Amino acid sequence: MEVIRIAVCDDEVIFSEKLEKIISAYCVEKQISYELDVYASGKEFLMDNMKMMGYQIVFLDINMEEIDGLETARELRKLCKETFVIFVTAFINYTLEGYKVDAIRYLLKTDVNFKQSVFESLDAVFEKMAYTPSIKKFSFREGNKNIALEKIIYIESNLHKLTFHIYDKDIIQYTMYETLNKISEMLSEDFVRIHQSYLVNLRFVKNITGNQLLLSNGESLLIARSKLKETRSRVAIHKGEI
């Protein structure tokens, strides 16, 4: 069985010990082979790049001195795109910043059900580890392509021509003549129709401001008035599951 390498980075010794015990209890209960390292600061965690790159799961306290958890996560992301980051903090005003570094969970230290929250976050991680991307073959004007659905940012419709905006290291575009209604039948529940012209992957949604949907690639798309309530609901539910 693969050994799962986990890191806890928190400058509160007592809390680190508490979190370490909870993680260990989870792994024992689930019969998961693991190695767990504890770091007392973001600086200490970042010092050894090679070791840092070996962790599959990292619990980061946001409110650390000198280098906080957000900055630590940004540096981690420069080297490790696949590491699962779980933020742990006593405050609730950093949630959106957490999504910028693709945090899978955001846990409050003061939560009376903290142990259960840690268990649920680890359940989510291991579920994603076992996840196999859904790949479909599309007949584009540029040729037949096998595309992982999770890489589609959004699909735009214009005069019966669809443009697929896809993230694969860089943003690329493929086109075809088809309707959004037909394509939406092929896609997963991770996609939401925000307008007659846009079908968006919730994975890439950053936030909603007014009637504008802001994507993680910096683009902003108009949400139709009739779709606003549903879109807000779908985004809120999705972010709660990340």
**Domain identity same for 125 and 140:** no
The dihedral region occupied by 160, where left means phi > 0, alpha psi between -120 and 50, and beta the remainder, is left
Of 95, 129, 163, which residue sits at a domain end? 129
Residue range(s) defining the domain that contains residue 146: 135-241
* Confidence class for position 190, pLDDT limits 50, 70, 90: confident
Give me the residues paired with residue 149 across strands. none
**Domain identity same for 46 and 119:** yes
**Burial per residue of 211-233, b for 16 or more beta-carbon CB atoms within 10 angstroms, e otherwise:** eebebbeeeebebeeebbeebee
Q: Which CATH number is 208's domain given? A: 2.40.50.1020
**Domain identity same for 66 and 92:** yes
Query: Highest mean pLDDT: which of 102-111, 151-160, 180-189?
Result: 151-160
**Domain identity same for 92 and 178:** no
**Domain identity same for 80 and 183:** no
Give yes or no for residue 124 having a pLDDT over 80.
Answer: yes
Rounded average pLDDT over 202-207: 86
**Domain identity same for 160 and 102:** no
Among 158, 95, 89, 86, which residue's Cα sits nearest to residue 124? 86
**Domain identity same for 154 and 117:** no
Kind and range of the H or E element at 144? Answer: strand 143-148
**Domain identity same for 197 and 179:** yes
The total number of structural domains in the chain stands at: 2
